[in-house]
Amino acid sequence: MVKKRKAFTGAQCTAEAMRQINPDVVAAYPITPQTNIMHAFSQFVADGDVDTEFITVESEHSAMSACVGSSAAGARTMTATSANGLALMWEIVYIAASTRLPIVMNIVNRALSGPINIHCDHSDSMGCRDSGWIQIYSENGEEAYENTIMAMRIAEHTDVLLPVMVCQDGFITSHCVETVELLDDETVKNFIGEYVGHYPLLDVDKPVTYGPLDLFDYYFEHKRQQVDAMQNSVKVIREVFDEFGKITGKHYDFFEGYRLEDAEKVIVCANSSAGTIRVVIDELREQGQKVGLLKMRVFRPWLNDMVVEKLRGVKAVAVLDRSDSFGAFGGPLFSEIRSSFHEETEKPNIIDYIYGLGGRELDIAQIKKVFAELEEVKTNVGERVRYLGVRE
């Protein structure tokens, strides 16, 4: 194995992973801030660096429709999108999962309109949380690269056969240059392996039907099979994480802690915010404060037991949600964390902060404010759902 260091944007990291995977088909439509991924990948296609059939379609709805067709035919299939593009795919996103097609889609997280906003929040992918897709989140470009490679193995496992979203923050990760470590092509090729389609539509000796009418006589059972597949993915994700970790020398987990061992106050978050929070944690630790971070890598499937185990003994938890659930009690990540502790007799006091909508910056002062407020939350919860960085 050979590792190479590059100064890459998150978009370039994702395109590089796609080049090494060398999918049979990619269908995509440009949308900011995802476009840079497909710009880079289309250059690989033009240069003959991949064998991919690259389909330029007239909309994101068509992009996912083409992916469904190619995956059903037995082709290894990938795509990418953002925000309103994902929303336009909505109908076909559900069809891809319901048809059990192992498509990997990179989501460059961006606020959903309206008003029109091209900057980061997580309203697009969180809006898809019940669509039947596995969801993996990336703190930086290197994680986006690694998660994309692992996602292919997870999706195509015969015990899973579900599509996977790999998410990274729009502009913050996708357009910012960092030094990253990438694997050599042969290592990735060997890790991914050859793909053999499961009941391919083009196998004329064993004809199958995709997308038939499915009424009350079988629909319920097919939904139950999706549940089983998502439950099966827990074991598969763990195995893929461990196998890939032996290659990279890293540890991958559904939830990853930073200075959690004796922490009394903990922030839970996803994606790029974790890096900024670590800086604050190190500073506050030097001042004697027992603070820590729990970073979510996998949102679907959700692991209740792991959340409880990671946060056991913590006195106060602040969940940072970069999307809001209008009419609900708090954001989507907060709802899951709080639910995980419902049956526990001993639990931390948990509050939620909605933050960063439409690309609003999360700075060091705001993170210090959260940890300061958690000191009071240890004994008095107060307002359960709060807004961070908004002008009231």
Is the pLDDT reported for residue 2 higher than 90?
no
The answer to whether residues 91 and 206 belong to one domain is: yes
Confidence of residue 18 (pLDDT cuts 50, 70, 90): very high
We report the CATH number of the domain holding residue 341 as: 3.40.50.920
Torsion 66-68-72-77 (CA) sign? positive
Confidence of residue 197 (pLDDT cuts 50, 70, 90): very high
Domain, as residue range, for 272? 257-388
C-alpha 325/C-alpha 61 separation (Å) is 24
The answer to whether residues 220 and 307 belong to one domain is: no
The answer to whether residues 182 and 307 belong to one domain is: no
The answer to whether residues 241 and 272 belong to one domain is: no
The answer to whether residues 96 and 163 belong to one domain is: yes
**What is the reported pLDDT for 211?**
87
Confidence of residue 165 (pLDDT cuts 50, 70, 90): very high
Nearest to 270 by CA among 283, 284, 256: 256
- 261 token code pair: 């061992």
Please report where in the chains the tokens 């913050």 appear, as a residue: 172
Q: What is the DSSP code string of 107-139?
A: EEE-PPPSS---S--SHHHHTTTTSS-EEEE-S
Q: Would you say how long the chain is, in residues?
A: 392
Strand segments, DSSP code E, in the chain are 3-9, 25-28, 53-56, 77-81, 104-109, 134-137, 164-169, 177-183, 255-258, 265-270, 291-296, 298-300, 316-321, 349-355, 385-388
Confidence of residue 119 (pLDDT cuts 50, 70, 90): very high
pTM: 0.98
The answer to whether residues 49 and 20 belong to one domain is: yes
C-alpha 53/C-alpha 132 separation (Å) is 26
What average pLDDT does this structure show over 79-85?
98
The answer to whether residues 293 and 194 belong to one domain is: no
The answer to whether residues 242 and 361 belong to one domain is: no
Q: Is 357 strand, coil or helix?
A: helix
Last residue of a domain, one of 197, 227, 248: 248
232-290 pLDDT, tens digit each: 999 999 999 999 999 999 999 999 999 999 999 999 999 999 999 999 999 999 999 99
Give the number of domains in the chain.
2
The answer to whether residues 40 and 167 belong to one domain is: yes
**What is the reported pLDDT for 162?**
98
C-alpha 8/C-alpha 266 separation (Å) is 31
- 17 token code pair: 């992973």
Last residue of a domain, one of 248, 272, 306: 248
- 73 token code pair: 């035919």
Confidence of residue 181 (pLDDT cuts 50, 70, 90): very high
We report the CATH number of the domain holding residue 7 as: 3.40.50.970
**What is the reported pLDDT for 1?**
83
What number of other Cβ atoms are within 10 A of residue 343's Cβ? 9
Strand partners of residue 321? 354
C-alpha 106/C-alpha 119 separation (Å) is 16
Last residue of a domain, one of 248, 266, 294: 248
What average pLDDT does this structure show over 15-39?
98
What average pLDDT does this structure show over 346-372?
98
Q: What is the DSSP code string of 308-336?
A: HHHTTT-SEEEEEESS--TTSSS-HHHHH
**What is the reported pLDDT for 392?**
81
DSSP 358: G
The answer to whether residues 209 and 264 belong to one domain is: no
Ramachandran assignment for 327, one of left (phi > 0), alpha (psi -120 to 50 degrees), beta (any other): left
The answer to whether residues 369 and 275 belong to one domain is: yes
The answer to whether residues 244 and 264 belong to one domain is: no
